[in-house]
Amino acid sequence: MGKRYFGTDGIRGRVGEYPITAEFVLKLGWAVGRVLQTRGFNKVVIGKDTRISGYMFESALEAGLSAAGVNIALLGPMPTPGIAYLTRTLHACAGIVVSASHNPYYDNGIKFFSRDGQKLADEAEERIEELLERPLETVGPDALGKAERIVDAAGRYIEFCKSTVPACTSLAGLKIAVDCAHGATYHVAPSVFNEMGATVIPIGVSPDGLNINQDCGSTRPAALCETVKEQGADLGIAFDGDGDRVIMVDHRGEILDGDDLLFIIARDRLRTGSRFNAVVGTLMTNLGLEMALRALGLDLYRAKVGDRYVLERLLAEHLILGGENSGHIICLDRTTTGDGIISALQVLAAMLQSGKSLHDLKAGMTRYPQTLINVSVTGELDLGRAPIPEAVQAVESQLGDHGRVLLRPSGTEPVIRVMVEGVDAGVVERHARELACVVRDALSA
């Protein structure tokens, strides 16, 4: 059954436009409370990022949950993975995150964790949507849910993050620029690295409700690159607005994306004796990572784009590492979901154990040139229409084993994403432009 509201990462949209309204979110809180409370688990935790609309939606969720007879633990601004962690440790029946991740302040969203700190199952989302179509029924006055604020939420999560690397790990002597995107990690990430001994240069730690992800963070790392070079830092770390993504910058100001970081972590896990035979990426994972993993004796399994699908494949294959080039990295041997701070710590631990700089650590992977073109489409997104398959086959034949072609409809806008990857950047770009023209002509005919 198709879902009306839930996407791959909860419910998201522009604030004030249905369904991202106070009225809908109140009803959503009630429906979630009705579906997810179980005997012995009658508490839901709520956390948020720093965008101004979080105040409104936090209150709406609190009212809806209370009407369903569910108790509420308010965490305040917290990284999404921190909310997943506290959902487990506070023995809640669910965790709710009010965040639109890397989007601008005028967007917001609601996403959920089950009581084990993982994404909700499709079945639970479908049951919530069914209840949203029914009238809201408030429990009796004596059964209303109560709310409490968890004042030490940040401290609990900071200690957990530090526990995911060996106790002997010290960042003393390292100068690290940390960009928090004026988002949910602003009061957590600098403390983690500082408490482990690093000299921290904080960036994007002054949220005002409107500046989240504005010219900073993992999606706009230019300021971080400049700061690393100007301050003579050993490296830089950038998170997105809700803290589940991370990218890093070496001392030269060169960016390491999720593919680079996943390779470094996988190689270090092998060094320390972890037993696994594959890593999970997505359809967009660079071919260079696949080749580098193969050299380590590991396979790359490709899931659909979205950390939800990466996690599903990890669980199905009983694997421990997966991620996206956007910086969503999941270390299931450390935590239950993608976590920017914990992923960065795994890279830093590998760096310290090897005695190499971040720049040298990434040298084991050679990135293949990749060109991505978005083709706007107004009609049916039929990629089987001639001559699209024939054109794709011709390009794949020319690229051989050292290239890839990927055509996929966007999940969020009316475009076809045309991606070509190969050894020669000029050849890759030419093929991508030719394919984009074929797709545009065929689908507009």
Distant-in-sequence, close-in-space partners of 134: CB < 8 Å, separation ≥ 6: none
**Of the candidates 252, 199, 212, the residue with the CA atom closest to the CA atom of residue 359:** 252
Q: What is the per-residue pLDDT across 138-179, written as a single tens digit (0 to 9) for each?
A: 999 999 999 999 999 999 999 999 999 999 999 999 999 999
Residues 375, 274: Cα–Cα separation, whole Å: 42
**Of the candidates 126, 123, 139, 120, the residue with the CA atom closest to the CA atom of residue 30:** 139
Q: Give the end-to-end CA distance of the chain in Å, rounded to a whole number.
A: 32
pLDDT at 1 over 70: no
Rounded to an integer, the average pLDDT of 101-114 is 95
What one-character-per-residue DSSP string does 338-374 give? Answer: --HHHHHHHHHHHHHHHT--HHHHGGG-PPPPEEEEE
Q: CB neighbours (10 Å) of residue 40?
A: 7
Amino acid at site 445: A
Residue keyed to tokens 């949950």: 65
Structure-token pair, residue 233: 């830092």
Question: In whole angstroms, what separates CA 383 from the centre of its chain?
Answer: 28
DSSP summary character for residue 382: -
Catalytic position from the list 53, 66, 99, 101: 101
Q: What is the per-residue pLDDT across 294-342, written as a single tens digit (0 to 9) for each?
A: 999 999 999 998 899 999 999 999 999 999 999 999 999 999 999 999 9
Q: Which of 51-65, 245-259, 359-373, 378-392 has the least mean pLDDT?
A: 378-392
pLDDT score for 320: 98
Q: What is the per-residue pLDDT across 329-363, written as a single tens digit (0 to 9) for each?
A: 999 999 999 999 999 999 999 999 999 999 999 99
Percent of the chain with pLDDT over 90: 90
Question: How buried is 124 (Cβ within 10 angstroms: 0-12 exposed, 13-18 middle, 19+ buried)?
Answer: middle
Structure-token pair, residue 227: 């700061």
Amino acid at site 52: I
Are 233 and 173 within 8 A, CB to CB? no
pLDDT score for 412: 65
- 59 among known catalytic residues: no
Residues 175, 236: Cα–Cα separation, whole Å: 9
Q: Which domains does the chain have, with CATH numbers?
A: 11-151 (3.40.120.10), 157-241 (3.40.120.10), 256-339+346-364 (3.40.120.10), 370-444 (3.30.310.50)
Residue 141 has, within 13 A of its CA and on its CB side, a CA count of: 0
pLDDT bin (cut points 50, 70, 90) of residue 121 is confident
pLDDT at 274 over 80: yes
Q: What are phi and psi of 426, to 5 degrees?
A: -65, -45
Strand, coil or helix: 425: helix
Q: Which residues pair with 96 in a beta bridge?
A: 46, 112
Are 12 and 64 within 8 A, CB to CB? no
* Cis peptide bond N-terminal to 414, omega within 30: no
pLDDT score for 411: 67
Amino acid at site 14: R
pLDDT at 204 over 80: yes
Secondary element (H or E) of residue 264: helix 258-271
pTM of model > 0.85: yes
DSSP summary character for residue 257: -
* Cis peptide bond N-terminal to 79, omega within 30: no
Residues 10, 210: Cα–Cα separation, whole Å: 22
Output the CA torsion sign for 111, 113, 117, 121: negative
Structure-token pair, residue 123: 């079945």
Structure-token pair, residue 429: 């770009």
pLDDT bin (cut points 50, 70, 90) of residue 413 is confident
Question: How buried is 411 (Cβ within 10 angstroms: 0-12 exposed, 13-18 middle, 19+ buried)?
Answer: exposed
Residues 346, 266: Cα–Cα separation, whole Å: 10
Structure-token pair, residue 53: 């609309």
**Of the candidates 122, 20, 25, the residue with the CA atom closest to the CA atom of residue 67:** 25
Residues 237, 235: Cα–Cα separation, whole Å: 7
Rounded to an integer, the average pLDDT of 118-138 is 93
pLDDT greater at residue 414 or residue 175: 175
pLDDT score for 163: 98
Percent of the chain with pLDDT over 70: 99
Residue 400 — left, alpha, or beta (φ > 0 → left; ψ -120 to 50 → alpha)? left
